[in-house]
Amino acid sequence: MKRPRIRADLALVEGYHSPQVDVAVRLNTNESPVPPPAAWHDAFVAELARVEWHRYPDRSCAELRAGLAAQYGLDPTMVFAANGSNEVLQSVLLAYGGPGRTAAVFEPTYALHSHIARVTGTAVIEGERDEDFRLTRSELDRVLGTGPDVVFLCSPNNPTGLVEPPELVRYVVDWAGEAGALVVVDEAYGQFADWSAIELVDDDRPVVVSRTFSKTWSMAGARLGYVLAPTWVVEALESVALPYHLDTAKQIAGTLALRFVDEMHERVDQLVTERTRLAAGLAALPVQQWESGANFILFRPGADTGLTGQQVWDALVQRSVLVRNCASWPRLEGCLRVTVGTTTENDAFLAALAEILGP
């Protein structure tokens, strides 16, 4: 059999995967360490029992969009929901990227920005962060000078955890308004940070903010995300979305979650407290770490330990603790990323790391 050939521009593109290892402490994918409230689960099960499964879902996702819009003081026409924030990013690039267009990213950052761009035939312009993983105005101007059609800013940035300064984001948005470009602020971890670009979203600015239910809402299993955007952007995203792309169960899950906003904020507060404690624990060990506004911390074993990031990762797995190995990623030599877990999980991680690194 003569097999059909994959697109030539995709032949060398690797997928984005996280190792799934059977361990006692799993702190590698930035999930919430606790499940949704029991009351949410009971309400979800009850609603599923009433679903007419032989009928298609609400194509407009009206109830979910209205609920999300109310959370942020926006109109439902400024909300687009999708299968995780990754489908949001894909929809943006299908509408505003594609052959002959470019997307700008600033490395190191979320790998799916450039990966999805390339999958959609969008050329990628890579900017470089400085040694502290911060974005400088000179590098920003250099990249914007190439005239990208879409600019990705990740805040808090994954995997570094750094929050982009408000003045920097506003600077890019003002540039985009003059250049006819679109700014995408990826706020998958936005609820953990001390400011949000949502305050910039209106019909007169070319900026969109993507978020997810996976982290703060404890719903990674639902694969539900959304974007807050000008009405004209939402209309464009709807034009590239497949019919009935968001199933009934997802719409129910997200709509019900919005009844438990207080519980969500409580979980966020607890994780921020644990993040502070985890950072203090790392500060007592021979590692370099970066300030985080997310639910994870990027760190690197110190040179005096004589250990590589890969060696530390292997040793943690041997002790049934799994973190994300970033050691082989471009610009992240030797780095590991740990998700903020429960107090017990964080203690287990710190104890294992201390044992590995020695006195």
Distance (Å, whole) CA 7 – CA 116: 14
Q: What is the pLDDT of residues 276-322, one digit of tens each?
A: 999 999 999 999 999 999 999 999 999 999 999 999 999 999 999 99
Residues 319 and 201 in one domain: no
> Are residue 123 and residue 191 in the same domain, yes or no?
yes
User: How far, in Å, CA of 211 to CA of 220, rounded?
Assistant: 12
Asked if residue 7 has pLDDT above 60, the reply is yes
For residue 95, being part of any structural domain is answered with yes
* Confidence class for position 148, pLDDT limits 50, 70, 90: very high
For residue 40, give every residue at least 6 positions away whose Cβ sits within 8 Å of its Cβ, in sequence order, or none.
256, 257, 259, 260
Same domain (yes/no): 112, 31: no
Q: Which two tokens stand for residue 252?
A: 């129910």
137/129 Cα distance (integer angstroms) = 10
Residue 2 lies inside a defined structural domain of this protein: no
pLDDT tier for residue 14 given thresholds of 50, 70 and 90? low
- Domain match, 208 and 353 both: no
Round to the nearest angstrom and report the end-to-end CA distance of the chain.
61
CA dihedral sign of residues 127, 129, 134, 139: negative
User: Last residue of some domain: 237, 259, 281?
Assistant: 259
Tell me the CATH number at 135: 3.40.640.10
Range of the domain at 252: 39-259
Percent of the chain with pLDDT over 90: 92
Predicted confidence (pLDDT) per residue in 35-75, tens digit: 999 999 999 999 999 999 999 999 999 999 999 999 999 99
Two structure tokens written together for 226: 């959304």
Residue 1 lies in a domain: no
Percent of the chain at pLDDT exceeding 70: 97
Q: Are 101 and 180 in contact (CB under 8 A)?
A: no
Q: Extract the tokens encoding 232.
A: 């004209």
User: Is 6's pLDDT higher than 90?
Assistant: no
Q: Which of 42, 47, 40, 76 is nearest to 60 (CA)?
A: 76
Q: Has residue 153 been placed in a domain?
A: yes
For residue 357, what is the enclosing H or E element? helix 343-357
82-119 tens-digit pLDDT: 999 999 999 999 999 999 999 999 999 999 999 999 99
- Cα(230)–Cα(207) distance, integer angstroms: 8
How confident is the model over 158-204, as pLDDT tens digits? 999 999 999 999 999 999 999 999 999 999 999 999 999 999 999 99
Residue after which a domain boundary falls, among 228, 259, 290: 259
Same domain, 156 and 276: no
User: Residue 12: which pLDDT band, with cuts at 50, 70 and 90?
Assistant: low
pTM: 0.94
- Tell me 148's DSSP state: -
Residue 328 is predicted with a pLDDT of 79
Could you tell me if residue 3 is inside a domain? no
pLDDT tens string 333-351: 999 999 999 999 999 999 9
Q: Say whether both 192 and 292 belong to one domain.
A: no
CATH of the domain at 313: 3.90.1150.10
Residue 17 clears pLDDT 60, i.e. is over it = no
Using the CB atoms, write b or e for 72-81: b if 16+ within 10 Å.
bebebebbbb
Residues 104 and 251 in one domain: yes
pLDDT exceeds cutoff 70 at 11: no
Q: What is the pLDDT of residue 19?
A: 67
208, 224, 259 - which closes a domain = 259
- Within this chain, do residues 253 and 268 fall inside the same structural domain, yes or no? no
pLDDT of residue 15: 52
Answer yes or no: are the C-beta atoms of 182 and 208 closer than 8 Å: yes
Domain count, the chain: 2
Mean pLDDT, rounded, of the chain: 95
The average pLDDT across 200-214 equals: 97
**Do 184 and 283 share a domain, yes or no?**
no
> How far is the C-alpha of 251 from the C-alpha of 270, rounded, in Å?
27
Is 100 found in the same domain as 188? yes
Tell me what pLDDT residue 13 has: 56
261 and 70 Cβ atoms separated by less than 8 Å: no
Sequence-separated (6 or more) residues with CB below 8 Å from residue 223: 83, 84, 214, 250
- Mean pLDDT of all residues in 135-158: 97
Residues 212 and 201: their CA atoms lie apart, in Å, by 17
Amino acid residing at 231: T
75 secondary structure, DSSP code: -
Does the structure show a pLDDT above 60 at 16?
no
| 344 and 281 together in one domain | yes
Res 9 pLDDT > 90:
no
